[in-house]
Amino acid sequence: MDNDRTEGSMKNLKGKIKEGVGNLTGDSKTKTEGQMDQAEGKIQNTIGGIKDTLRGNK
């Protein structure tokens, strides 16, 4: 598995936690940062998946 997939999954998880904290505290900046981290993580994970496919890994 490509490192981008692992890092992307971790970034996505971090973003979900940040978004949850933002929701609980009413902090819209933290919530938005969490959503951005999730988007970045999903993109990075997708890139890793494409790299794996090109290498013939799954």
Closest CA to 41 of 25, 24, 17, 21: 17
pLDDT at 2: 80
Closest CA to 49 of 14, 12, 3: 3
**For residue 27, with 0-12 CB atoms within 10 Å meaning exposed, 13-18 middle and 19 or more buried, which class applies?**
middle
1-58: pLDDT as tens digits: 789 999 999 999 999 999 999 999 999 999 999 999 999 999 999 999 999 999 887 6
How many degrees, rounded to 5, is the angle at CA 34 between CA 20 and CA 13?
75
pLDDT at 53: 92
pLDDT at 58: 60
